[in-house]
Homo-oligomer: A and B are copies of this chain.
Amino acid sequence: MSAEPGTVRPGGRTARVRTAVLRAAGDVLAEQGFDRLDLAEVARRAEVGKTTVYRRWGTVTALVADLLADMAEQSLPRTRTGAVRDDLRANALLVQRTLADPRQGALFRAVIAAAACDPRTAEALRHFYAVRIAEWAPCVSEGVARGELPVGTDPATVVRAVSAPLYYGLLTTGTAPDPAAAERAADAAVAAAQAGVYAAPVTPVTPT
């Protein structure tokens, strides 16, 4: 089926190729890990010419960096319930569903493993988390503004505290978190924030 001239917006084919290639790259990563990612295999799965993939991405690390950029662009907006605990529970459940999903969980493990060995992937991963944390940080600052959390609470640290136990369990034991773990992660972050743990250094620390 070919479109009428002028009915496909500029970039339409380019965007479709990108979507197909990134989907295929994510599938290979989730199924086989970073080591087995190969541009020719990705092209075959995406039903896109090999030359296109080599010309546009060039290397496996560039392809993974673009996949992470796309995941950051596509990721869901934050929740706004009007209560910090409910917002952070929604965040925790979103992280939990992602990590417990067989494809997404395996994809994150593969990308985090790749970032341990490859600086470009590490940079792309940092960018991905920076985008996600910036998206959810207002849940905390609004909670501070409403008086639910102490003044001076650091929003990014609280958002990271919600994700941390969910990722830690997956990465060190291979066990995906369940919804109860997600709610516990959110409630723990709120309890610690309410106790002032994320508002100021606990004790003076001398850098050594």
**A interface with B by C-beta (< 8 Å):** 33, 35, 109-110, 112-117, 122, 125-126, 129, 157, 160-161, 163-165, 167-169, 171-174, 178-180, 183-184, 187-189, 191-192, 194-195, 197-198, 201-203, 205, 207
Copy tally for this chain in the complex stands at: 2
Can you give 11 contacting A-B residue pairs, CB < 8 Å?
A33-B116, A33-B117, A164-B165, A167-B172, A183-B202, A184-B198, A187-B192, A187-B197, A191-B191, A191-B192, A191-B197
Nearest-neighbour CB distance to chain B for A176, whole angstroms, equals 13
Chain B residue, CB-CB nearest to A112: B171
Alpha-carbon separation in the docked complex, A115 to B172 (Å) = 8
Cβ-defined partner of A112 (8 Å) among B116, B122, B163, B197: B116
6 smallest CB-CB distances across A and B, nearest first, come from A188-B192, A113-B113, A191-B195, A164-B168, A109-B116, A164-B164
Interfacial chain B residues near A183, Cβ < 8 Å:
202-203, 205
